[in-house]
Amino acid sequence: MTFTDLTAIVTGANSGIGRACAQELLRRGARVAGVDIRTDGMDILQEAAGRQGASFWSFPCDVRDATAVRNTVEEVLQRTGRIDVVLNIAGVTMDRPLSRIDEAAYRKVMDINVGGTFNFCQAAAVPMKKQRSGSIVCTSSVTAVYGTQMGCIYGASKAGVLGLTKSLSLELAAWNIRVNAVAPGVVDTEMVAHLSPKEREACARSIPLGRMAKPEEVAQAILFLASPEASYITGTTLYVDGGYRPVFVPANQ
């Protein structure tokens, strides 16, 4: 896979899967705009770009803010003249029982996971249409299909991402813009850092491959869908889950 001279925007680039995607894009020759609500750790990517002679810029941006998103896309355009790839990685989870989900928690998860993805798709589609080319990859989750206990708003938000991906792939195909999704299983990132050793062991037991994914493994799948090598793939969902099937534990036990 090569991204030489292509411009890519990566949301959630400050950690986890987003950082792994940005690092791999830089290694493969892309100009990368890393977007995150906080940018205090972006120096790692800046240093990587310097070592490889690549271009990297960090943009503090709340993906929920449509105006900030449009401004970020416009600034990237001013620097590079085009946008070839958008990786919608930014996301948040808030696992809790249904009875403990308040409106603020619901809105945060839905606004970041679905709203933030929509905002970047909408903003980036404008220059991509003018170019008559582009690739967008959205991050869903296996929970969109299988669900997860105490994760109903997360699962609902990731199902929304799948619906958005399918619909946009149909709408934007006429401009040669591809839209795909990756649905990871359990990935060893900050999102699961709160799990106890016992909970991590239970997760591993639910995965036929016997372990959580590394962020770099998910990044490779995302980059494949974004790359010119996947030029005839659109509207699909690639599951990167190690064969994951959730373990059901009755709530009253």
CA–CA dist 129, 174 (Å, integer): 9
Alpha helices in 136-195 (DSSP H): 143-146, 152-172
**Which stretches within the chain are classed as H helix?**
16-27, 43-52, 66-80, 103-110, 116-131, 143-146, 152-172, 197-205, 215-226
Q: Cα separation of 225 and 132, whole Å?
A: 18
Residue 210 φ then ψ, to 5°: 80, 15
Q: At what angle do helices 152-172 and 116-131 cross, to 10 degrees?
A: 10
Q: How far is it, in rounded angstroms, from Cα 218 to Cα 198?
A: 24
Q: How far apart are CA 214 and CA 225, in angstroms?
A: 18
Q: State yes or no: is 154 an active-site residue.
A: yes
Q: Which CA distances in Å does 191 have to 93, 155, 169?
A: 7, 14, 28
Q: Residue 185: how many CA atoms within 13 Å on its side-chain side?
A: 22
Which distant-in-sequence residues (6+ apart) come within 8 Å of 185 by Cβ?
Answer: 141, 142, 207, 212, 213, 239, 240, 241, 242, 244
Q: From the candidates 106, 146, 154, 232, which is the catalytic residue?
A: 154
Q: Enumerate the active-site residues.
A: 154
